[in-house]
């Protein structure tokens, strides 16, 4: 859902599932249009039909051509468990070019140019806590990206997407209570940078951001983050500056299918719906915005 919040907010994975649960750098800072994806509502494992009003184009940018993903692993990512979690996420991003991603490629800009191929994983850096680790604000997430660009740890790239992925040791205002992740954009050193916050929900509240208590890769938190990342990347490429594709109610493409998963199969003691690379994943479906609009995996 799109809304206005001071600085920028973003997106969360929010509701039920099909068969199972699942700014700028100048002062004063203006208010920006932002997008938030809500946490999962605890309710029976039933299908929640998506809205049917059209998702329409509003004249702004979509991300055509090659797109890179730059990751900031924020907080404490040491230890075997967190290393495994990182590997699951990195492997997913390395195999995103698929029929699943092809849904996003049906969206175009004013010139008729389509969203590009799936983003490719590029730079990864660690930041153990440059702006703190407790109750971080939206502004501080943007500061993490801006500072990494300023010190040239990350390239300044208006055609990239920056993911700030916080470890389970980091707390963030609104995370696990209002949202599981979000995306926004900001002007940094004269370039419009697109970035996203993804939190690690592992812990007692993991079910707020996970559709299941078991998972295909044996790590409920990692598999939950993978689906949230898929949501955020889909919305970033189709609505990078909040003037692209969305409905009259402010729903972006991934919103329409949040917490819906289509046809499932059993994997690793949990459920999955797609095989990418060497792993199975449970990803939310995405909105096919054709003559018979619907949620799908391809």
- Taking only the tens place, the pLDDT of each residue in 3-20 is 322 222 333 333 333 333
Torsion angle in degrees (nearest 10) through CA of 107, 113, 118, 123: -130
pLDDT at 48: 54
pLDDT at 35: 66
pLDDT band at 52 (very low <50, low <70, confident <90, very high): confident
- DSSP-derived letter for residue 41 is P
- 68-110 residue pLDDT tens: 999 999 999 999 999 999 999 999 999 999 999 999 999 999 9
DSSP-assigned letters across all residues of 196-238: EEEE---STTGGGT-S-SS-TTS-HHHHHHHHHHHHHHHHHHH
pLDDT at 248 over 50: yes
Question: Rounded to an integer, what distance in angstroms lies between the CA atom of residue 255 and that of residue 50?
Answer: 9
pLDDT band at 53 (very low <50, low <70, confident <90, very high): confident
- Tell me which of 21-30, 37-46, 99-108, 186-195 is least confident: 21-30
Q: Mean pLDDT over residues 245-269, rounded?
A: 94
Q: β-strand 179-188 against 286-288: which pairing, if any?
A: unpaired
Question: Which of 2-16, 40-54, 143-157 is modeled with the greatest confidence?
Answer: 143-157
Measured CA to CA in angstroms, residue 4 lies from 23, 28, 33, 236, 295 at distances of: 13, 16, 5, 17, 27
- 152-208 residue pLDDT tens: 999 999 999 999 999 999 999 999 999 999 999 999 999 999 999 999 999 999 999
Question: Rounded to an integer, what distance in angstroms lies between the CA atom of residue 12 and that of residue 184?
Answer: 12
pLDDT band at 25 (very low <50, low <70, confident <90, very high): very low
pLDDT at 69: 98
Mean pLDDT computed over every residue of the chain: 87
Q: Mean pLDDT over residues 248-258, rounded?
A: 93
pLDDT at 137: 95
pLDDT band at 38 (very low <50, low <70, confident <90, very high): low
pLDDT at 36 over 70: no
């Amino acid at each position: 859902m799109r809304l206005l919040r001071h600085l920028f907010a973003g997106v969360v994975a929010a509701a039920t599932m099909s068969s199972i649960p699942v700014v700028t750098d100048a002062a004063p800072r203006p208010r920006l249009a932002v997008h938030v994806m809500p946490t999962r509502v605890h309710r029976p494992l039933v299908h929640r039909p998506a809205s049917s009003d059209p998702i329409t184009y509003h004249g702004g940018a979509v991300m055509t051509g090659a797109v890179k993903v730059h990751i900031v692993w924020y907080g404490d990512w040491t230890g075997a468990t967190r290393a495994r979690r990182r590997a699951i996420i990195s492997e997913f991003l390395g195999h995103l070019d698929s029929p699943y991603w092809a849904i996003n490629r049906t969206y175009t800009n004013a010139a008729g140019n389509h969203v590009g191929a799936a983003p490719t994983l590029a730079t990864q850096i660690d930041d153990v806590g440059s702006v703190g680790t407790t109750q971080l604000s939206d502004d501080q997430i943007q500061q993490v990206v801006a500072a990494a660009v300023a010190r040239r740890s990350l390239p300044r790239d208006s055609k990239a997407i920056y993911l700030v992925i916080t470890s389970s040791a980091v707390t963030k205002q609104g995370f696990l209570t209002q949202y599981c992740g979000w995306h926004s954009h900001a002007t940094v050193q004269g370039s419009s940078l697109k970035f996203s916050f993804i939190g690690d929900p592992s812990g007692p509240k993991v079910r707020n951001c996970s559709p299941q208590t078991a998972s295909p890769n044996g790590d409920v938190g990692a598999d939950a983050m993978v689906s949230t990342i898929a949501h955020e990347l889909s919305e970033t490429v189709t609505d990078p500056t909040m003037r692209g594709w969305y409905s009259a109610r402010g729903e972006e493409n991934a919103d329409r299918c949040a917490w819906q998963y289509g046809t499932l199969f059993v994997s690793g003691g949990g459920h999955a719906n797609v095989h990418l690379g060497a792993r199975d994943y449970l990803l939310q479906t995405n909105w096919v915005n054709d003559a018979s609009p619907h949620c799908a995996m391809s």
